[in-house]
Amino acid sequence: MPLSLAVLVSGGGSNLQSLIDRIEQGVLDAEIKLVVSNKPEAYGLVRASEHGIPTRVVAHADHPSREAFDTEVLRAIEAHQAEAVILAGFMRILTPGFVQSFPRRLLNIHPALLPSFPGAHGQRDAADYGVRISGCTVHFVDEIMDHGPVIIQAAVPAEPGEGGDALAARILRLEHRIFPQAVQWLAEGRLGMEDRHVRLAPAKRPLADLSGLGPCLVNPPLEQGF
Ligand code: GAR
């Protein structure tokens, strides 16, 4: 049985698209039951509709509190019977009650090497700081923003003065590789945990070809198809 997912977006949805593409290619063993956006204008909703995926807008402005917003999102997810929740550019902080509803079933992607540069502008903050290496992180979500156990990270060089947009574009290409891979590991039941250390159960599978991505380091390594 494929892992059934709800994907939460707030914007362009290119990470959502990377999940859809890998599912349609038959390498990601998952099914997206629902895409939820807190913004009616999010292009991620269009991407979902184009692939026949049900969508739902839960506008945060229409809800009096974070709890009320999260309850509405939770109801929508439960109605579509999604087992896991994937935050793909979802720019809202979730309440502890929501987080606890999906133990080890709630993943986020962040465009920086956590714990450096958490928050809404990871790429720009890293570029402004003048780091020489940045990247992206997929992690389990816990009650603290951008804090939960790390599943996979990818690093890329950052060049002086190139600005946040150029760095963001380089990072985004890797986001599209590591996010579907992390979801596949979740679908395969290969992600264990000791304290906050995520253990990936081994599988005898060839590794992915990273040529064409430019200089980068991905750990754990991507497997074929990702
Ligand atoms: C991605 O870069 C994602 O890592 C980031 O928002 C972008 C969404 O792009 N998420 C965060 O910054 C969360 N703190 P997308 O809508 O094209 O997938």
Transcribe 121-171 into DSSP letters: THHHHHHHHT-SEEEEEEEE--SSTT-SPEEEEEEEE--TT-HHHHHHHHH
Q: Are residues 96 and 22 in the same domain?
A: yes
Number of CB atoms found within 10 A of residue 127's CB: 23
Domain count, the chain: 2
Q: Tell whether the torsion through CA atoms of 85, 91, 94 and 99 is positive or negative.
A: positive
Query: If you search the block for the tokens 């390594």, which residue do you land on?
Result: 221
- What is the model's pLDDT at position 10? 98
Average pLDDT over every residue of 16-43: 98
Q: Are residues 132 and 197 in the same domain?
A: yes
Q: Is residue 76 part of a domain?
A: yes
Q: Is residue 146 part of a domain?
A: no
Render pLDDT for 50-103 as a digit per residue (tens, 0 to 9): 999 999 999 998 999 999 999 999 999 999 999 999 999 999 999 999 999 999
Q: Is residue 143 part of a domain?
A: no
Q: Among 110, 156, 167, 178, which is best to mutate for testing ligand 1, by the most ligand atoms less than 8 A from CB?
A: 110
147 part of the active site? no
Q: Are residues 226 and 123 in the same domain?
A: yes
- What is the model's pLDDT at position 22? 98
- What is the model's pLDDT at position 129? 97
Domain extent for 203: 111-137+151-226
Q: Which protein residue's CA is at the shortest distance from atom 1 of ligand 1?
A: 89
Q: Work out the pLDDT band at 108, boundaries 50, 70, 90.
A: very high
pTM higher than the cut 0.75: yes
Q: Are residues 190 and 115 in the same domain?
A: yes
- What is the model's pLDDT at position 84? 98
Intra-chain end-to-end CA distance of the chain, in Å:
20
Render pLDDT for 118-149 as a digit per residue (tens, 0 to 9): 999 999 999 999 999 999 999 999 999 999 99
Q: Is residue 55 part of a domain?
A: yes
Q: Are residues 92 and 119 in the same domain?
A: no
Which amino acid, one-letter code, is at 116? S
Q: Are residues 200 and 131 in the same domain?
A: yes
- What is the model's pLDDT at position 123? 97
Q: Is residue 168 part of a domain?
A: yes
Q: Is residue 145 part of a domain?
A: no
**C-alpha 24, offset from chain centre:** 18
Q: Work out the pLDDT band at 174, boundaries 50, 70, 90.
A: very high
- What is the model's pLDDT at position 29? 98
Q: Which atom of ligand 1 is nearest to the CA of 136?
A: 4
Of 226, 225, 222, 180, the closest CA to residue 16 belongs to 180
Q: Catalytic pick from 63, 80, 110, 147?
A: 110
Q: Are residues 172 and 94 in the same domain?
A: no
- What is the model's pLDDT at position 202? 96
CATH, residue 93: 3.40.50.170
What integer best gives the mean pLDDT of the chain?
97
Is beta strand 197-200 parallel, antiparallel or unpaired with respect to 191-194?
Answer: antiparallel
Torsion of CA 155, 14, 37, 135, to 10 degrees: 10
Q: Are residues 59 and 116 in the same domain?
A: no
**C-alpha 203, offset from chain centre:** 22
Q: Work out the pLDDT band at 195, boundaries 50, 70, 90.
A: very high
Q: Are residues 91 and 117 in the same domain?
A: no
Q: Which atom of ligand 1 is nearest to the CA of 13?
A: 16
- What is the model's pLDDT at position 74? 98
Q: Are residues 21 and 129 in the same domain?
A: no
Q: Work out the pLDDT band at 104, boundaries 50, 70, 90.
A: very high
Q: Are residues 73 and 158 in the same domain?
A: no
Of 101, 68, 65, 62, the closest CA to residue 85 belongs to 101
Q: Are residues 64 and 129 in the same domain?
A: no
DSSP 95: P
- What is the model's pLDDT at position 13? 98
- What is the model's pLDDT at position 31? 98
Q: Is residue 144 part of a domain?
A: no
Q: Is residue 117 part of a domain?
A: yes
Contact 111 CB / ligand 1 (< 6 Å): yes
Query: If you search the block for the tokens 């059934």, which residue do you land on?
Result: 4
Render pLDDT for 148-159 as a digit per residue (tens, 0 to 9): 999 999 999 999
Q: Which atom of ligand 1 is nearest to the CA of 118?
A: 14
Residue 118 Cα to ligand 1 middle (Å): 12
